[in-house]
Amino acid sequence: MQRLFLVSLPRRLFLPLLMVVLSCTFSVATAEAKVCHLVVIADTNDKTIGQSVDIDQRNVTGVFRENVARNQLSVQTLSGNEVRKSRILSTIQNVNRRMSKEDTLIVYLAGHGAEDRRLGHYFELSSGEKMLRNDVLRSMNSKDVRLKVLITDTCSVFKRLKAAASYAQPQSTNTTSAAFVSLCWKPAGEIDMSACSSGEFSMGDNISGGYFTSQLVNYLDRNRSREVSWGQLFRSVKQSTAQVFREKNPRGVPGPDGETQRTQTPIARLDMDSGDSGGGSSTGPRFGVRVINSSGRGVLITEVLRGTPGTQVNVAGLSGPVSLEAGDRIVSINGRRIDSESDYARAVDDSGQAMDFEVINKRDGRTYRASVRLTR
């Protein structure tokens, strides 16, 4: 699966959505009352990547069945001819509406995708339909629940291998593992995780599936007996995905723009009330500023979370810290031009604790230089 950047050069993406909530401080009796709702969408009809996507689908559902108690797990899978835009969105909405307020919703989607600089990331379904990532996020907001997680593994370049993967049927469990308790029921908020950054291919094969998804599943399986945070998970999976990419592609791969891609860099937005980002947040509590792609310069701020660094910004020429506002535009970070949500997420993620940026004020249209101290 490859990522396709429509404005410059087309690149294909595989976009799996995964929304997960974890918890570790509750007693078994308390955790029993909560349910993790997992929706897995696998575009297995694609003739090129269908087998690799099917491996990802089985690996994701398998690790949840082996780690979350039967009475705390609800799994719904869409694959083959079921993968159509209307079916996907209505399924997520219906699952969301049936959930209790303290439940967790996790949506995972694997297949092809692309990115448009104005509309953002979208999915290219084998049915011929296009589905915006934002449409999926909106369908997850039919009802307010404790934690919503979207994980996407698209933009995965398929590599044909001779051997086929063997698969053992997962064994359901009666008890939820420590890792899944801490991940599914401790934090509250939203998580949006993607397998690669804008402009990159997300790689995979038909032996282990997508590099990103296989490392995600391996991490969950390896750490099932201990408490972990989403930030720890993302930081580890990000590092191991890049390592696997380099091991399997020591000379890199030809990129969509003709240049050689040397790595694969997952990105994530971790917006959680617990503040437990573990250093993995790209556009969440680390800065607390949510943005969307825009037809104008930079990215458009849609929300600034209370109590986050985005409310304590130092602006050149002004005395005392001020808060950014919805409608302001961020045009550069640490000297790097920001043209998309992916540019923004990567720049915040790569920044040290002190971050310099330029922002266009919505009130007077002027560009200001600003600085902020990020969390962790």
Residue 297, domain member (yes or no): yes
Type and span of the H or E element at 250: none
Residue 338, domain member (yes or no): yes
Residue 10, domain member (yes or no): no
Residue 25, pLDDT above cutoff 50: no
Residue 160, pLDDT above cutoff 70: no
Residue 244, pLDDT above cutoff 60: yes
Residue 10, pLDDT above cutoff 60: no
Residue that terminates a domain, selected from 225, 246, 272:
272
Domain hosting 366: range is 289-373
Residue 3, domain member (yes or no): no
CATH number at residue 76: 3.40.50.1460
- Give the other-Cβ count within 10 Å of 253's Cβ: 17
Range 33-53 burial, b when 16+ CB lie within 10 A, else e = ebbbbbbbbbbbbbeebbbbb
Q: Are residues 113 and 218 in the same domain?
A: yes
Q: Are residues 241 and 320 in the same domain?
A: no
Residue that terminates a domain, selected from 272, 303, 331:
272
Q: Are residues 94 and 162 in the same domain?
A: yes
Structural tokens at position 346: 């990567």
Residue 7, pLDDT above cutoff 80: no
Q: Are residues 225 and 103 in the same domain?
A: yes
pLDDT given at position 31? 42
Q: Are residues 340 and 211 in the same domain?
A: no
**Torsion sign over Cα 195, 349, 145, 179:** positive
Q: Nearest 5°: CA angle at 346, between 331 and 181?
A: 130
Query: Which pairs with CB-CB distance under 8 Å and at least 24 residues apart come from 47-52?
Result: 48/1, 48/158, 49/1, 49/14, 49/111, 49/112, 49/156, 49/158, 49/204, 51/164, 51/206, 52/1, 52/156, 52/158, 52/204, 52/205, 52/206, 52/209, 52/210
Range 80-110 burial, b when 16+ CB lie within 10 A, else e = eebbbbeebbebbbebbeebeebbbbbbbbb
pLDDT (mean) for 231-244: 90
Residue 9, pLDDT above cutoff 80: no
pLDDT given at position 75? 97
Residue 222, domain member (yes or no): yes
Q: Are residues 261 and 343 in the same domain?
A: no
CATH number at residue 313: 2.30.42.10
Q: Are residues 262 and 330 in the same domain?
A: no
- Eight-class DSSP state of 163: S
326: β partners: 328
What's the total number of domains in the chain?
Answer: 2
Q: Using 50, 70 and 90 to split pLDDT, how confident is the model at 345? A: confident
pTM: 0.70
Q: Are residues 65 and 169 in the same domain?
A: yes
Q: Do the Cβ atoms of 214 and 203 come closer than 8 Å?
A: no
Short-list 163, 171, 149, CA closest to 221: 171
- The percentage of the chain sitting over the pLDDT mark of 70, rounded to a whole number, equals 82
Q: Are residues 96 and 244 in the same domain?
A: yes
Q: Are residues 128 and 260 in the same domain?
A: yes
Residue 93, domain member (yes or no): yes
Residue that terminates a domain, selected from 214, 238, 272:
272
Q: Are residues 156 and 32 in the same domain?
A: yes
Residue 120, pLDDT above cutoff 70: yes
- Give tens-digit pLDDT for 132-152: 888 998 899 888 899 999 999
C-alpha span between 322 and 306 (Å, rounded): 13
Residue 23, domain member (yes or no): no
Residue 15, domain member (yes or no): no
Q: Are residues 304 and 203 in the same domain?
A: no
**Of the listed ranges 29-33, 65-69, 321-325, the one predicted with least confidence:** 29-33
C-alpha span between 56 and 221 (Å, rounded): 14
